[in-house]
Structure 1
Amino acid sequence: MKAARFHAKGDVRVEDIDLPAELAPDEVLVRNQFCGICGTDLHEFVAGPIFISPQPNSFSGASVPQILGHEFSGTIEKVGGDVSHLKPGDHVSIQPHMGPLDGYFGVRGLHFLGTRGAATGLTWPWGGFAEYAVMKAYATVKMPANLSFRQGAMVEPAAVAITAIDRSGLEPGASVLITGGGPIGALTVMAAHAAGAAKIFVSEPNASRRKRIEGIGIPVTTIDPTAVDLVAFVRQETFEGLGCDAAVECAGNPRAITDCLAAVRPRGTVVLVGLTNNKVEISPFDLIVRDIRLQGSLCYPTTLWPRIFAMIESGRLPVDALIDEVISLDDLVGKGFEPLLDPSGAKMKILVDLNA
């Protein structure tokens, strides 16, 4: 079968590899349909290995070369002997995090926080940028009949956004600032709207991305932070000039983190989603006297998929609006990674059709 494998920084190859010989009792074989390109895939390509490791993963045994891709949907081809909730032919969306089910975080559906675990497309031997993938059955979720495979490939990034809004404590009628207008930022706009936000501000320097977000069909105020004093603007547009109720930082930008902290009202919440290793100056005094909550948000509980399904079905989460293009696996780097890495580009989400 064909698979796109990471070998080293800047070295991702589409190769022919063997199909799995057999399944463990708790595993399933998925024929992959669509897989989305994530910022994590791009970071590994540009600067990896980051999460990918040259050493075998303690839970899964995976190491370089690593099949990429963790935002995907497919069809069950075969099930292991202990699997009863799935059968061949079922349409599924992949929840990529796995680990011991009896661990402290495993029983809470938070495998990504455990001391042992693996993530599909990074530290698990299989991934979405391949014709087939072997998955743990508990990480393979049957989709409702009327959800498309394209929508199924958008569930994982949508879960990141929904969790960020959940952690912000956003209430109906509240205001929120979202910094970063990429795919996660755009999905966070949808999540905030679904949660009942009355005012949604989006800070994004790329004019094409601001236009894309304005075209989703959700009331939103976009701001170019290079041309406007972002904090002053948000305060001017909120009750008594206090600032917004919550902010979600999706860019991994130190300046944006500072802006989020300054733009929220006293007792507001700032949620950090965008990854960065850069240092950020934070005043503990300011956080204390304004009673600010600073919250990290990396992934999501494994139980979230049915809720995302329902939000897509209801139209509250119009994920299709973000899909720009569908490409073949052979074009992953040239027509997928490279356009998405263009800082002036307008692309939001590119899916790979594994049957193209």
Structure 2
Amino acid sequence: MTSETTTLTRTASKTGTMKALRFHAAKDLRVEEIAKPDQPGEGQVLVHNRFVGICGTDLHEYSYGPIFIPKEPHPFTGAHGTQVLGHEFGGVVEAVGAGVTNVKPGDRVSIQPLIMPRAGDYFADRGLYHLSPQLALVGLSWVSGGMADYALVNDYNVAPIPAELSDEEAALVEPAAVAVYACDRGEVTAGSSVLVTGAGPIGALTLLAAKAAGAAQLFVSDLNDTRLGFMKEMLPEVVTLNPKRDNVGEAIRAQTEGNVGCDVAIECVGNEHALKACLDAVRKQGTVVQTGLHPHDNPLDWFSVTFKDVDIRGSWAYPTHYWPRVIRMIATGLLPASKVVTKRIRLDNAVTEGFDVLLDPAGTQLKILIDLA
């Protein structure tokens, strides 16, 4: 972005408008000047956004949506139709509403984008906010999103970040939380052997999270050699497998203790063949974790599930209380999330240099961040 464009953007913000990338329909994303969010009401926070990531969910909305973007008013938030995208982001608090005590103007924050009832809901009353049937998300079913100059969120959506965490890393807390929760669901621990299917951003972060948890053997499978190369650069010790050439199950059994298979297999694609590879590769009484979202029914060999005595567990998003933990993991270097970032772009070019590039089957990029400065 040129200095002239930066000046225009700042002027527009001062006059009550801002720049935003909005979903109108499949293959119809527009960078537009829209009204800046109102001053925050009670329990709300206005954030001046800094970096935002393009997620696989955003790509699906662009390609086939609306999917998670409501066609009718969302039952909890009322949001529907045209939507500012972006749920992986951070920024600086611009203003706070009455009753907000956890942050103040000037604080740097990471956004936890899940929105739901805070009480009076079976799961909310048990602290399992991410399982609420009324769940909404900033950037998908809320008035604001991260792909804009500003976002209006609730006080429980903002988590202060330490000086050790960069603005860029603040936008990586959300996908890293998905990865950490997947490893927790699989009970990855010191000495574990772990297979991750899918070398996309979530798969890459899951490998990093597994290593942070103490995994001693790491395997990753993907059909794209370029992305497998990214994994090897990120973690030289990881064993990369391409199902076009390798029998994933056989290769992992040959390299694990007793030739029995890995302790944990985590599916990060939402692909029928990847899930079957997980079941094949995991040892008896091992654990398969399903993190990727499958677009349709997926037949599985349930005889093998029973015969191998395995656990199959879903992993949906993350508990909202993970934010301080994941922030610490990234800030201390235990989970070097920025390793997955391969490109940084501007909002004006987000569609052609971001969305379209990530949808290219060549897979030349991994995680793309939009710089909103």
TM bracket (short chain)? over 0.9
SS at match of 1:126: coil
1:78-113 CA distance string (max 9 Å, x none): 001110121000000000001111122224443332
Residue 268 in structure 1 maps to residue 286 in structure 2: yes
Separation (CA, whole Å) in 2 of partners of 1:324 and 1:315: 18
Q: Which runs of 5+ in 1 are unaligned?
A: none
Residue 60 in structure 1 maps to residue 77 in structure 2: yes
Give the corresponding residue for 1:176.
194
Separation (CA, whole Å) in 2 of partners of 1:319 and 1:151: 7
The match for 1:30 among 47, 53, 63 is 47
Give the corresponding residue for 1:44.
61
Moved over 6 A (4+): none
Give the corresponding residue for 1:288.
306
Residue 234 in structure 1 maps to residue 232 in structure 2: no
TM-score (norm 2): 0.93
Give the corresponding residue for 1:258.
276
Q: Which runs of 5+ in 2 are unaligned?
A: 1-17
Contact 1:60-1:117 at 8 Å conserved across structures: no
Give the corresponding residue for 2:172.
154
Give the corresponding residue for 1:125.
143
Give the corresponding residue for 1:200.
218
Q: Which amino acid aligns with 1:7?
A: H
The structural deviation recorded for 1:191 is: 0.5
Superposed counterparts of 1:1-356, under 5 Å: 1-102=18-119, 103-355=121-373
Contact 1:110-1:300 at 8 Å conserved across structures: no
Q: Which amino acid aligns with 1:124?
A: W
Give the aligned CA root-mean-square deviation in angstroms.
Answer: 1.1
Contact 2:199-2:222 at 8 Å conserved across structures: yes
1:102-157 CA distance string (max 9 Å, x none): 12222444333212231000001100001000000011111112211100000000
The structural deviation recorded for 1:219 is: 1.7
Structure 1 pair 115/28, CA: closer, same or farther in 2 (3 Å)?
Answer: same
SS at match of 1:157: helix
Identity %: 48
The structural deviation recorded for 1:51 is: 0.3
SS at match of 2:30: strand
Separation (CA, whole Å) in 2 of partners of 1:57 and 1:283: 37
Moved more, 224-233 or 284-293: 284-293
Contact 2:164-2:332 at 8 Å conserved across structures: no
TM-score (norm 1): 0.97
Separation (CA, whole Å) in 1 of partners of 2:240 and 2:307: 30
Structure 1 pair 126/10, CA: closer, same or farther in 2 (3 Å)?
Answer: same
Separation (CA, whole Å) in 2 of partners of 1:218 and 1:25: 49
The structural deviation recorded for 1:276 is: 1.4
Separation (CA, whole Å) in 2 of partners of 1:109 and 1:332: 36
The structural deviation recorded for 1:290 is: 1.8
Contact 2:42-2:98 at 8 Å conserved across structures: yes
SS at match of 1:215: helix
Separation (CA, whole Å) in 2 of partners of 1:30 and 1:74: 6
